[in-house]
A and B are shown apart, each in its own frame.
Chain A
C-alpha cells in the first residue's frame, strides 16, 4: 500500500495506512507528521550482527586475565585448559584472583603459595577420590617480568607436583 505525504509517495503497511488515513480524515487541513521505523534495515543489521557473533562464538573455556598483566604474544599457543590460575603482575601474585604477596616476598618465603597450591590438591582429592592429581596450572606472567623470576616460580610449582605449566599467551587460535 502506498500513501502520498506532501510530495512523497511512501510505502506503508496496512495498519500504518489505516492510522494515517484516519488522522487525515479528522484534520484534513493539518499536515501529517509521518514517523515510520524502517524495519528492513534494522532486521538486516541484526542479521549481520548475529552472523558475525555466531562466527566468533567460542565454546572453549576462558580464563580470567588480571588487568595488570600484559601477556606475551605467541603463534603456537593451544587451547586453554581449566586449571588453577597463578597471575604474576609487577607488584603482586594472585592465586585464583586471591592476592598472596609480592614476587620478591614469595620467592624468599613461598609458604602462602605452597599453602594455596596444597589447597587445590586437597580439593581435587575430595572431588576425585582415587584419581591422580593432573598437576596442571595456568601461569599468567607480565611480559616485562624478568624471566629468571618466572623460572624460579616454575621451580616452586614443580616442587608441588605441578609439572604441566600452561603459560598464558595472547595468540591467534
Chain B
C-alpha cells in the first residue's frame, strides 16, 4: 500500500521540441544546399603594349590544331628549344600523351633546371570550349600554372 501511494517518476523524453528543431534545421539545410558543384579555373591573361625583353625563363606555347591534335613548343629565354606534335584519336588520348610527355619536357636539359613559368594556349576553330577546358585541365594537373589563352582569329 505504501508503494502504491508513491508517485511514479515520469522519465519520458518530450520529443515535440526536438522534432521541431530537426524540422527547422532540415528546411534550412535543404534550402541552402548546393546540388551542383561549380568550380573555377583561373586564367592569367597578360596584357601590355610593349614587348617584354627576353628573360632567362621557360615558357611553353600549346597550339591546339584540332580536338585531338596539339603542338607543344618549349621556349627558353625567348628561343624555341623543343617542339613536339601529337595527333591522337580523341581528346582523352591526347591528355594521356600529355601526362606521359610533359614530365620529360619539364626536365629538358636546355631549360637548365628552370621551371616553366607560363603556358599560352592557342585554340583552333574546330576545337570546342569543352575540349579546350579539358586540355587546360590536363596542363594544370601536370603542375603547370599561369596558363593563358591566345585570342586567335580562328583559322
A143 contacts the other chain (CB 8 A): yes
Contact of B47 (CB < 8 Å), options: A54, A62, A141, A163: A163
Identity of the chain B residue whose Cβ is nearest the Cβ of A53 in the assembled complex: B29
With contact pairs A14-B10, A46-B22, A62-B34 given, residues A81 and B40 touching in the complex (Cβ less than 8 Å): yes
* Contacting pair B45 A154 (CB below 8 A): yes
* Contacting pair A75 B44 (CB below 8 A): no
* Contacting pair A77 B40 (CB below 8 A): yes
* Contacting pair A148 B130 (CB below 8 A): no
With contact pairs A43-B18, A77-B39, A148-B154 given, residues A143 and B44 touching in the complex (Cβ less than 8 Å): no
CA distance A147 to B132 in the complex (A): 7
CA distance A147 to B131 in the complex (A): 8
CA distance A91 to B77 in the complex (A): 43
* Contacting pair B26 A50 (CB below 8 A): yes
Identity of the chain A residue whose Cβ is nearest the Cβ of B125 in the assembled complex: A148
Identity of the chain B residue whose Cβ is nearest the Cβ of A15 in the assembled complex: B12
Centre residue among A42, A77, A81, A164 by max chain B CB count within 10 A: A77
A-chain residues with CB within 8 Å of residue B46 when the two chains form the complex: 163
CA distance A163 to B129 in the complex (A): 19
CA distance A79 to B40 in the complex (A): 6
Contact of B128 (CB < 8 Å), options: A53, A58, A145: A145
A23-55 to B contact mask, C-beta < 8 Å, 1/0:
000000000000000010011001101100110
B136 contacts the other chain (CB 8 A): yes
B102 → A minimal CB distance (Å): 14
B15 contacts the other chain (CB 8 A): yes
* Contacting pair A56 B47 (CB below 8 A): no
B104 contacts the other chain (CB 8 A): no
Centre residue among A53, A71, A75, A151 by max chain B CB count within 10 A: A151
B36 contacts the other chain (CB 8 A): yes
CA distance A50 to B116 in the complex (A): 47
* Contacting pair A142 B129 (CB below 8 A): yes
* Contacting pair A167 B133 (CB below 8 A): yes
The 7 closest A-B pairs by CB, nearest first: A77-B39, A155-B151, A143-B130, A171-B39, A53-B29, A148-B154, A147-B123
With contacts A53-B29, A57-B33 known, what are 10 further pairs, Cβ within 8 A?
A14-B10, A43-B19, A49-B26, A72-B134, A74-B41, A142-B129, A144-B129, A154-B149, A170-B39, A171-B37
